[in-house]
Amino acid sequence: MTTLPANRPLPRAFYERDTVVVARALLGQRLVRVLSGLHLSGLICETEAYGGADDPASHAYRRTPRSVIMFGPPGIAYVYFIYGMYHCLNAVTACDGHPGAVLIRGIFPDEGIGTLREHRSGAADKHLTDGPGKLCQALGITLVLNGVDLTDSSELFITAGEPVAMREIIAAPRVGVRGDEETRTRPWRFVWQHS
């Protein structure tokens, strides 16, 4: 296993792999948001993989102005707004021209906790960042960051965290996806059962 450089954004090669592989590999890596000079961060603990034309649950199932970002290059932030109230953060994966992205569903926060609490206005600590919309609200991630290069940004990036043992990872179906039964039951959600 290759050791990744600490405190530096993960390289593009990290993202330029099969989307399901990247979704699993992101567990234990550190998501960092620098907001007004303050570092807000946490270890990624839940992800979901999304493909292209072979994945009816994916935005890239059909190429649209919104989903074109998923077609590459890898290592780019794909941020979108849903239900008129929540932002979601994805990391674009796979080779340029082949759509894929990993939704960051949750982190274990460990830096800037006071600010995360303010942004989440009264949420219990255990629920500060345990959902894609919650973590974006806590970290101040909005559409302004759509298209940011995660490998070369000083505002939003992912660094090497800690290795996660396979026995601590649960693979499960994705949450609330559309499509046939095979699509809905693909075990493309990865959860780190951290002790």
The dihedral through the CA atoms of 184, 186, 191, 193 has a sign that is: positive
* Residue 1 resides in a domain: no
Write down the residue that tokens 């707004």 correspond to. Answer: 81
Write down the residue that tokens 């990624």 correspond to. Answer: 44
pLDDT value of residue 122: 82
Q: What is the DSSP track for 90-127? A: EEE-SSTTS--EEEEEEEEEEE-HHHHHHHTTT--GGG
pLDDT, tens only, 25-52: 999 999 999 999 999 999 999 999 999 9
SS3 87: strand
* Residue 6 resides in a domain: no
Query: Which amino acid would we find at residue 182?
Result: E
Give the pLDDT band (50/70/90) at residue 162. Answer: confident
Distance, CA of 32 to CA of 151 (rounded, Å): 12
N- to C-terminal Cα separation, the chain? 22
Distance, CA of 69 to CA of 66 (rounded, Å): 7
pLDDT, tens only, 110-125: 999 999 999 999 899 9
pLDDT, tens only, 77-96: 999 998 888 999 999 999 98
* Mean pLDDT of the chain, nearest integer: 94
Instruction: Tell whether the model's pLDDT for residue 146 goes beyond 90.
Output: yes
Write down the residue that tokens 């970002």 correspond to. Answer: 69
* Residue 2 resides in a domain: no
* Residue 61 resides in a domain: yes
- Domain hosting 39: range is 12-192
SS3 185: helix
* Residue 3 resides in a domain: no
Instruction: Tell whether the model's pLDDT for residue 153 goes beyond 70.
Output: yes
Q: Which CATH number covers residue 20?
A: 3.10.300.10
pLDDT value of residue 1: 44
Distance, CA of 158 to CA of 44 (rounded, Å): 9
- How many structural domains compose the chain? 1
* Residue 75 resides in a domain: yes
